[in-house]
Amino acid sequence: MKAIFFDRDDTLIKDVPYNGEPDTVVLMPGARDACQTLKKLGYALFIISNQSGVGRGLISKEQVDAVNQRTLDLLGPGLFTAVYCCFDLPDQAGESCRKPSPKMLLRAAREHGLDLAKSVMIGDKLSDVRAGKSAGCFAVYYNSRHDADELALAQSEADYVTDLLADAVGWIKRFP
């Protein structure tokens, strides 16, 4: 099974830092169409998200779950296979699951029998691109925040860079 791994904040929904309020969830432009088209193309869809607000004690796991559920509800029923979140702090010692680590993607692949070489990570940060590449996936940099420094690095590290999710879908559609 091939998969699309979506980052959540500023990729599928507008980022609200350490968001624990499902009522504030707003989809990013084109997110719903992108998910529905990719699902129809035969991809299993996953959310892969760093949520250090839990590790920082700012929000609970239940609040993260509620925001995730609201996200899935807005995108449309039955689209996503699973959601993986890492609650670690950025400076946590040891083997963190946080992107750019590929750990959440590798776990999803193990648990769902995914072919990582035919899968794609899509996100708005270099850490998304690096997690995807480290996992052996294609990586799309979604330039939703217009961060000039990250964009410059993404041009050399990502397989595809775009300002529009629809363009990423068009690029994936051309895969053999």
Q: Give the contact letters, 91-130, x = binds to Mg ion (CB under 5 A), - = no.
A: ---------------------------------x------
The residue range among 3-11, 25-33, 97-105, 134-142 that interacts with Mg ion, by the rule CB under 5 A, is: 3-11
User: Nearest CA to 35 among 168, 140, 146, 133?
Assistant: 168
7 vs 88, beta carbon nearer Mg ion? 7
| Cβ-Cβ contacts under 8 Å for 171 (sequence gap 6 or more) | 140, 160, 162
2 vs 99, beta carbon nearer Mg ion? 99
Position among 10, 33, 147, 157 found at the interface with Mg ion (CB under 5 A)? 10
Strand order in the sheet with 80-86: 80-86, 44-50, 3-6, 120-123, 138-142, 160-162
Contact yes or no for 167/35 (Cβ under 8 A): no
Position among 3, 4, 7, 160 found at the interface with Mg ion (CB under 5 A)? 7
Report, in Å, the least distance between residue 43 CB and Mg ion. Answer: 19
| Cβ-Cβ contacts under 8 Å for 150 (sequence gap 6 or more) | 125, 126, 141
9 vs 109, beta carbon nearer Mg ion? 9
Q: Which residues are catalytic?
A: 7, 9
Q: Which chain residues interact with Mg ion by CB under 5 A?
A: 7, 9-10, 124
